[in-house]
Chains A and B, each alone.
Chain A
């Protein structure tokens, strides 16, 4: 009545290791466990990458469109011209500020030199040229001349002070020359 199981009841531990059925069973087991998990992980990574790229590409494309639109606005002739004009004006204003604050005015220097010449000395000619000053003087007053020479030589703002004195009758003809030190200018 009851059929006996056809499979032999044996516990055989001595079967060959690389038996085909074992390999298949192992492969199936690997595919269904570790392989499955690997596949899931890969799928997750692929999906994340896909959506990330999807959104990032969209954002990148939008930005490219925006940049192109802005460039076309800036390439418009009016804007281009305005841009150049404002650049020029900015440079000009910068230069104006530089010359306004950076340059030394010489009128006060000339005024100081002229006011330092004693009244007893008669100026025959005066020349101021950059940093060199030449003065031709006449005077009968040697002391005044000597004082003037001392004052120039003792002034640290001046250098290379030269006095050339000739006697013409009662008067002394004097050629004075000196340099104005650049640091004081």
Chain B
């Protein structure tokens, strides 16, 4: 019986694994930001739930979470949301078969869905950048 050696990429396959197009890295980033947002969200449910404890409890928590480090962390969440939302809208459109082209007869050099879809990816990144800048501007004004 011939021995087989495992050659699966594993997690490295999620992060890269070759000279692939931007869509593949958008996938990795989408997953990463999703996990980050989920972690923040679950914590957020408990923190905002503290408003049930009245004014003193609430203001105590807000004071302890008002430091610049925490605000910078919140800005990271805003960044993550900006990317995840913009990319997510793109994915909703693409996975419903919109803006990815139609099947036809392949002729060399081959076009393909992700390539035809590239302008949509660029537009989504532009939207994400805009939202990130807006969040950053707000953070700046909030600190000064």
The answer on A and B forming one complex is: no
- On A, residues with C-beta under 8 Å from B are none
